[in-house]
Amino acid sequence: MKKVIFLVDMESFYASIEVTRRPEYRGKPLVVSGDPNRRSGVILAASKEAKRFGVKNAERLWEAQQKCSDLIIVPPHMQDYIEVSIEITAILKTYTDLVEPYSIDEQFMDVTHSQQLFGSPHEIAKKVQQDIWKQCGVRARVGIGENKILAKLACDHFAKKNKEGIFELKAEELKETLWPLPVEDLFGVGSQMKRHLYDRGIRTIGQLAATKVEFFKKRWGIHGQVLWMNAHGVDYSPVKLSTHDGQKAIGHGMTLPYDYATKADIHTVLLELCEEVCQRARKNHVHGSTVSLSVSGASYEVRTGFHRQFTMPYATNASLTLYKYVCQLLDQFWDGQPVRRVGVALSKLSDGDAVQLDLFDHEQQQDDRALGEAMDRIKARFGKTALLRASSLLPAGQARERAAKIGGHYK
């Protein structure tokens, strides 16, 4: 039996939820945006009425206001969006147990064996749309294909432009449907890849598909081969529940509320990031042997900053140990220019229950591990701000601010 895969995508998800909460906004140009007085003042979601004025996701709020003077601006409520996303997952699971969240507003479904109960793929898609609208007040688009890449392309480029919001992309019809589209519409082609392909005369997905796969493998390796496969609608990855298991790294980053120009201020937020990274590592019972630090300069015109990594003498999930090596990377590679964004990651993860002790420092390792686990228990019971490093109380500290947020936005 041929597979039937859906990608269910919510239309203007954040904006739709805000309209459901405040019916008086229905039919008006509305955007969900971060604080306009901070760096987070960008459009997270725009209603269809706002989009008619040319407002786009990810553009700066002031640019959107120039396009539409009557724009209604609401702050994000991330906890509400997460709860609705979970509710939508529950709706989809009434049709199949094979539901894979792809993002907060996109989910894959394998309905291959659901057709005997619920009808044809098109009928199931209509029922899914109706259930989500009735229970959540959100309109959904459904892309249908025999694999995940076809379902994704069907949703992104055809269902969103279809009045019904449903489209099935068939592998045998790609020449007429997908291949005439510009190459940048292919999943996996970003702005830099677009330039590379344009330089080689590849302007459409069809031209990419007509090029021999050996060219892409030789030039871009596995990524090049995957692009070629995407153009041909080939994808062997199943819809599964364990997509996010077995992660290869744990990281956190933040855009700073203002440009940090002193090493002391940067150290403050780096320690907070190390705390968050190591807390997640301990929760997942892993530790890592490679630490990486990313720093972005304050200027948008002249790109400065760096991304460097370092392999530590032994694997760890202790905050102060990680912090020590992060500071070494900062000392070695920071150019002294103001910083607007920082990120810390721990990789080369391994089982955290089996610890390789350092011959000369094993007692300190055990003390750090016990301290971290004790802090985790207190925070789990009393909240993230129940225990804070003293440095987080300094003006540069962001721990209390971040504790009030989900995904960088207020709950």
105 assigned to a ligand binding site: yes
**CB-based contact 318:411 (threshold 8 Å):** no
Question: Known catalytic residue: 106?
Answer: yes
Closest by CA position to 88, among listed 6, 10, 198, 170? 10
Q: Nearest CA to 274 among 174, 189, 368, 344? A: 344
Torsion of CA 347, 353, 354, 359, to 10 degrees: 80
Q: With contact defined as beta carbons under 8 Å apart, do 46 and 57 qualify?
A: yes
Q: Would strands 106-110 and 72-74 be described as parallel, antiparallel, or unpaired?
A: unpaired
Nearest to 333 by CA among 358, 305, 311, 361: 305
Altogether, the residues listed in the chain come to a count of 411
Q: Which residue has the tokens 């094993």?
A: 362
Cβ contacts of 248 within 8 Å, gap of 6 or more: 347, 349
The single residue of 100, 106, 146, 168 carrying the catalytic annotation is: 106
Sorted by sequence, the CB contacts under 8 Å of residue 179 that are 6+ apart come out as 204, 205, 206, 209, 231
- Extract the annotated binding site for Mg(2+): 9, 105
Which residues are annotated as catalytic?
Answer: 106
- Extract the annotated binding site: 9, 105
